[in-house]
Amino acid sequence: MADCVYRSLFNVLECPNLKLKKPSWFRQPSAMAVFACVLVSYFIVTAGVIYDMIVEPPSVGQTVDEKGHAKPVAFLAYRVNGQYIMEGLASSFLFSLGGLGFIVLDKSNAPSIPKLNRSLLMFIGSLMVVVSFCMARVFMRMKLPGYLLS
Amino acid sequence: MPKVAYFRVTPERQQILLKGLVLSICCVLAFCVRLFSVLRFESVIHEFDPYFNYRTTKFLTEEGFYSFHNWFDDAAWYPLGRIIGGTIYPGLMVTAATIYKFLHFINIPIDIRNMCVFLAPLFSSLTTIVTYLLTKELSNSSAGLLAAAFIAVVPGYISRSVAGSYDNEGIAIFCMLLTYYFWIKSVKSGNVFWSVLCSIAYFYMVSSWGGYVFLINLIPIHVLFCIITGRFSHRIYVAYTTVYCVGTILSMQISFVGFQPVQTSEHMGALGVFGLCQIVSFVAFLRKKLSAANFAILWQTMLYLIGGVVIAAVLVLTVSGKIAPWTGRFYSLLDPSYAKNNIPIIASVSEHQPTTWSSFYFDLHMLVFMFPVGLYVCFKDINDHNMFIILYGVTSMYFAAVMVRLMLVLAPVMCILGAIGTNHVLTSYMKNLDSVQVVKEKKGPKGSKVDNTYPAKNEVVADQTYPLKNVVAIGVVLGLTLFLGLFATHSIWVTAEAYSSPSIVLSARSGDGGRIIFDDFREAYYWLRQNTPEDAKIMSWWDYGYQITAMANRTIIVDNNTWNNTHISRVGQAMASTEEHAYEIMRELDVDYVLVIFGGMTGYSSDDINKFLWMVRIGGSTDRGAHIKETDYYTPTGEFRVDSEGSPTLQNCMMYKMCYYRFGQVYTEQNQPTGYDRVRNAEIGNKDFELDVLDEAYTTEHWIVRIYKVKDLDNRGNPRT
């Protein structure tokens, strides 16, 4: 009985011949590729980009000096919970640089690397680490003039 | 005599002793570093929310659990009242009351206030231990010790768990890390025992904080990623099925949560992954039993059928409203601009603002550098548990960027990943310290070299590709040690300077270096307690509600729970309207006293005039406040000014009059006229006025809190204004 209904139905309708396949270029990315994406998102996020989108601060601040000219101000001082866009990007660049420096140092400790490559990697790695640490501390001092002083 | 043999400590025992010693030092450190405010002021409860928790804990210890669970409070939100029993997370109060009862049982009569003040540091010490255990499961015990040391002092966690900050987060982080520890154990072992322990820890987490939603979404995301990357095994199946079933049933025992786990979108992800787990396991089972061709047919049919049914079901349930969509607070995490545009109350809380770079550096210091290193180490050899910590790190990083308050959730994972990274770098360079360059190339007669392929027995061959191996290793190790020391210094400085203020007691340095204490808040609340009738109703802005009920023990109109926007809007309308209009609203709400905070005399900048624009916005956001427009309170040029150029609407509204009554006759600073407001840095515009509907009842010593009594109706029915 139901058979007749279905048969008549399918005399009119035709089943589409669907051949759905997963596209061949859709491969699982390697672990290090995902890590690179995560690092880029870390850079964006620690720059305070979400704060920039909501509060919409200026790119740099402005102050007027003695002669009446407008001078740009890099850091929004005396407040930890406010920033300008450029200072956020600069600082998160330092954060990522420091992390990458340690990764370079780790890679340069591998067993068999040519001597020149190893020395270069070591030098660059240590430079990145030291520069980012010191600069981050200097940035914080510029932002909070009383940092580590009272 | 072989006495020495009994006391010889084997290397394994030495290790255990050393680990135990380091862990105990971390625990003691975690407790002590949070005591700055107790040492500087006294053992007092901080901020606003902890006062509500303190009041409920006191009620619990006095009345018992059943009265607490069924408590309807008529002293708040007059005339609506508040069902406290069903709208709080009882874990914190029950924990404090249990420890209090236990201490009394063994005859240590600690006061309930001291119990509440010191509960958070106690749980920080326990968090240190759990962090060690968790990191040991994820990596190894040396990373665990580093993580324990990091989390003992990291400012991001200290900010919400100082002594005196008696709030849900104090115990929530402990519960969260405990749940994660048991989850990792159950994933690694596949035992039902660990999974049930995980569910019980999850129940404790649900009872303590609303942030449990993060857990019930992170664990399914972890399982989902394991399925996608092909790591799904019977262990994960057993672990997740047990945790979801037992955990959800336990979580529904909390009245506040109720049936949300099966009704709201925030919990649907967990249900979806639960279903997916069953399907994947069933498919794997069928694949073993059926032949390849049969299996292919069955697979395709079931895929389309089940996919279609699920999508249709979700659509129908969402459209018909049976599954509630994501609610305000959690939705604003996914779309940060939602709160700013639609819900002013959520947008006005300063903790809900997005995070800046300096907050990251301030709260985490060295860990922002070591976080990518830890991620790199985890990505290098991915396995089930590494994937979990990666997901936790990435998701909490995003959420901490959306809301400053959630930096608390990011701090533990920063400590764990930072410790894994630091441990990896230190270990690999420490190994280099052992190799000593002994052999120098022996030169024979000109043109020939001695064969160095077989070095002498006790000599190590120098690595030709690695110059100065020892020196570099010493440099890196010393450098990292220096950074760790700087981290400790920074953390202690931040704790001492920024996160140890009780905010109910203020202090400032006077001109000659001495300290002035501003205890105006408690002065005002105790005046209310002792000089007003027991059934007096106090109107103030919602920030101070919890403190008034806890310390003054009087009925209030609105408090920090902010569950009824219309009621708060009514109070906002009263504050922002003229005296005549406000009098109607105050008579409607039966208000006897009004309380305002004024910082113009002392320079205290978190006063009600600075919050006034939020009162205007919230007051104007409902129907009955349609006459209140924010632009009326600005000057024609768009500035918010309190001096003579300010808008007349502002200068005649009730908040302005209450704050600046009699202020026009007071000298606040040298070389400035009378009535100089030290916060807005302006001389006030409307100086000489009288109040028609209010009487000044009390002004504290430094004019920070001002209390006014609402006048009764006139005897002969004339209007007051």
Which of these, A131, A30, A78, lies nearest to B369 by C-alpha position? A131
User: Mean pLDDT throughout B383-397?
Assistant: 94
Q: Is the pLDDT of residue B392 over 70?
A: yes
Q: Which of residues 461-480 of B touch A (CB under 8 A)?
A: 464-467, 472, 475-476, 479
- Compute the nearest-CA separation of A91 from chain B (Å): 7
- Token pair for residue B279? 């399907």
Residue of A12 and B386 predicted with greater confidence: B386
Tell me which long-range contacts B699-703 makes (C-beta under 8 A, separation of at least 24). B700/B520, B700/B523, B700/B524, B700/B527, B701/B520, B701/B523, B702/B518, B702/B520, B702/B601, B702/B602, B703/B520, B703/B598, B703/B600, B703/B601, B703/B602, B703/B663, B703/B666
In degrees rounded to 5, what are phi and psi of residue B694?
-125, 155
CA–CA separation, A34 and A27 (whole Å): 13
ipTM: 0.89
pLDDT band at residue B86 under the 50/70/90 scheme: confident
B369 in reach of chain A (CB within 8 A): yes
Q: How many Å from the N-terminal Cα to the C-terminal Cα in chain A?
A: 91
Of B360, B369, B402, nearest to A98 by CB-CB distance is B369
Which of these, A87, A125, A58, lies nearest to B360 by C-alpha position? A87
Q: Is the pLDDT of residue B4 over 60?
A: no
pLDDT digits (tens, 9 = 90+) for B498-541: 898 888 998 888 878 888 899 999 999 999 999 999 999 999 99
Looking up tokens 């441990």, which residue turns up? Answer: B423
- Compute the nearest-CA separation of B507 from chain A (Å): 15
Specify the DSSP element, H or E, that contains B594: strand B593-597
Residue of B nearest to A32 (CA): B379
Chain A / chain B CB contacts < 8 angstroms: 147
DSSP structure string for B331-374:
HHHHSTHHHHHH-HHHHH-GGGSPPPHHHHHHHHTTHHHHHHHH
Mutate to test the interface with B, among A51, A113, A138 (most CBs of B within 10 A): A51
Q: Is the pLDDT of residue B5 over 70?
A: no
Q: Which of B90-104, B198-212, B270-284 shows the lowest mean pLDDT across its residues?
A: B270-284
CA–CA separation, B694 and B710 (whole Å): 5
CA–CA separation, A139 and A136 (whole Å): 5
Could B476 and A119 be called an inter-chain contact, meaning their C-beta atoms sit closer than 8 Å?
A: no
User: Mean pLDDT throughout B222-232?
Assistant: 91
Q: Which of residues 47-86 of A touch B (CB under 8 A)?
A: 47-51, 53-55, 80-83
- Token pair for residue B41? 């002021």
CA–CA separation, A126 and A115 (whole Å): 17
Fill in the DSSP letter of residue A29. P
Scored b (16 or more CB within 10 A) or e, B333-364 reads beebebbbeebbbbbbbeebbbbbbbbbbbbb
User: Sign of torsion, CA B368 B24 B489 B486?
Assistant: negative
User: Mean pLDDT throughout B429-448?
Assistant: 59
- Compute the nearest-CA separation of B375 from chain A (Å): 8
Name chain A contacts of B398, Cβ cutoff 8 Å.
Answer: 41, 45
* Whole-number pLDDT of residue A138: 94
- Compute the nearest-CA separation of A36 from chain B (Å): 9
* Whole-number pLDDT of residue B444: 44
For residue B436, the tally of other CB atoms under 10 A from its CB is 11
Q: How far are the Cα atoms of A13, A148, B483 from residue B432, in angstroms, in the given order?
A: 75, 35, 20
Q: Is the pLDDT of residue B477 over 90?
A: yes
CA–CA separation, A46 and A139 (whole Å): 15
Residues 6+ apart with CB under 8 A from B494: B155, B158, B362, B363
Looking up tokens 């008529």, which residue turns up? Answer: B74
User: Sign of torsion, CA A139 A140 A145 A147?
Assistant: negative
pLDDT digits (tens, 9 = 90+) for B151-178: 999 999 999 999 999 999 989 999 999 9
Name chain B contacts of A143, Cβ cutoff 8 Å.
Answer: 358
pLDDT digits (tens, 9 = 90+) for B290-322: 777 777 777 777 777 878 887 888 788 778 776
Specify the DSSP element, H or E, that contains B676: strand B676-677
Q: How far are the Cα atoms of A15, B549, B701, B705 from residue B526, in angstroms, in the given order?
A: 81, 11, 13, 12
Q: Which of residues 82-121 of A touch B (CB under 8 A)?
A: 82-83, 87-88, 91-92, 95-96, 98-100, 102-103, 105-106, 109, 112-115, 118-119
Residue of A105 and A12 predicted with greater confidence: A105
